[in-house]
Amino acid sequence: MSETETTSTTKERTVRKSQAETVKFAKLMVAGMQAHIAELTKRGIDEAFITGVQTNVNSLEKLDAEQEAMKATVKAKTEEFNGIYSDVLKVIGEAKKLIKLTIPQSGWIEFGITDKR
């Protein structure tokens, strides 16, 4: 085997599939195993094995749906947070300017302002 073939084979093995591709592949495997259970039983793949794989695939799909819903919730909360955060930054900036105009520099520290001017 040449170095090119080895590298190519290694690359094929290390290529990551997405979760969706893996679930799709697992479903195809389960369907194929169910269709050929008689032949596969001779090699140790029985109905219990196939059922276990199917159960795990179903769990993956359920958890993926829950995870996607949670991501949507986090995204909405992040947008809400960023909106309020922006407002707070604006208000604090305006208040800082007014404090610096009104209070002598020696009193700024009481407001957390460490500016020199």
Cα dihedral angle (75, 78, 83, 86), rounded to 10 degrees?
A: -140
Specify the DSSP class assigned to residue 46: -
**19 band by pLDDT with thresholds 50, 70 and 90:** confident
Q: What is the pLDDT of residues 40-63, one digit of tens each?
A: 999 999 999 999 999 999 999 999
Q: What is the pLDDT of residues 73-106, one digit of tens each?
A: 999 999 999 999 999 999 999 999 999 999 999 9
Burial of residue 41 (CB within 10 Å: 0-12, 13-18, 19+) is middle
| pLDDT over 80 at 16, yes or no | no
CB under 8 Å, gap of 24 or more: what pairs does 100-103 form? Answer: none
